[in-house]
Amino acid sequence: MEGPLLLIKAWLMSLAAIWVYRRFFERVAAPTPEFEAFCRSGAVLAAIDCKAGRASTVRDELRQRLSAKTGVGATLGGWPWPNYALFLSVAVEQDFVLLSVVGCSLLKTREPLPPSLIGILTELKARLPEAADIWIHPGLNYGGARHDPERSGWRLEESARSGLEPAPALGAWRARAAALPATAQQPPSKRQKVGRQYCVGSLPHAPIG
C-alpha cells in the first residue's frame, strides 16, 4: 500500500509546485538581454517641450504619476517592449522635461499590468497647458515601426486625442522646438491613430537604442 500512497503524494506535491510557480514566479516571456541592456543605458523615451519657466511644474506632476514600484508599460510597442515594466528617471534641461529609462523588470503572468507611458503622457498633455509638445521614442509605437523601419520618433498631436504623428530624431526635434514658439508648431499631415493595440508577431525592425 505504501507504493501507491507515495505516488499519490508525489503527484500532489508536483501539482502544488506547479501552482506556486505559476502563481508567484512565472514570467510572460523569456528574458531579452539586448533589450534589458538598452533599459540600463539611460536612453530618453520621451521629452516634453514646456512653456518658458514651467518645466518644473510638469516634472513634479510626472513624478507623482510614475510609480517606483510598478514602473510604466509600453503597450503599443513591439516585442519585447510589452513584456517589461520600464523604470524611468525625470530630469529638467532648460525648458525640456526628459524621461530616461534606467531599468526594467520582466512582467509576471499574474501581476497587474503597469500603466501605459503613452497614456500618461496623453492625459498630461490634455490637462496641463504647460506641456506644449511631446516627443516619444520610436520603439514605443509598434504600428509605425513595422511600416517604417527608419522611424526616428513620434509626437503627440496638438489635440492629444487623435494619435501620434511622425517626428524627427530627438536632437532635431529639440532644436526645432527651441527655435519655434509653441503656437508656430504645425503638425505634419501624416498621422497614425492611437488606441488599444495588442501586438503579436516578430520583432519590429525599429532600433531599440
Is residue 151 in some structural domain?
Answer: yes
Is residue 12 in some structural domain?
Answer: no
Our count of domains for the chain comes to: 1
pLDDT per residue as tens digits for the range 129-176: 888 899 999 889 876 444 455 668 888 875 434 478 878 888 888 888
pLDDT per residue as tens digits for the range 11-24: 667 766 665 655 55
Structural domain of residue 82, as residue ranges?
Answer: 32-193
Residue 143 near residue 82 (C-beta atoms within 8 A)? no
pLDDT at 167: 83
Is residue 10 in some structural domain?
Answer: no
Query: Is the full-model pTM beyond 0.75?
Result: no
How far apart are alpha carbons 187 and 33 in whole angstroms?
37
Q: What is the H or E stretch that residue 120 is in?
A: helix 117-127
pLDDT at 181: 54
Is residue 36 in some structural domain?
Answer: yes
Is residue 11 in some structural domain?
Answer: no
Is residue 6 in some structural domain?
Answer: no
Is residue 150 in some structural domain?
Answer: yes
Is residue 128 in some structural domain?
Answer: yes
How far apart are alpha carbons 92 and 197 in whole angstroms?
31
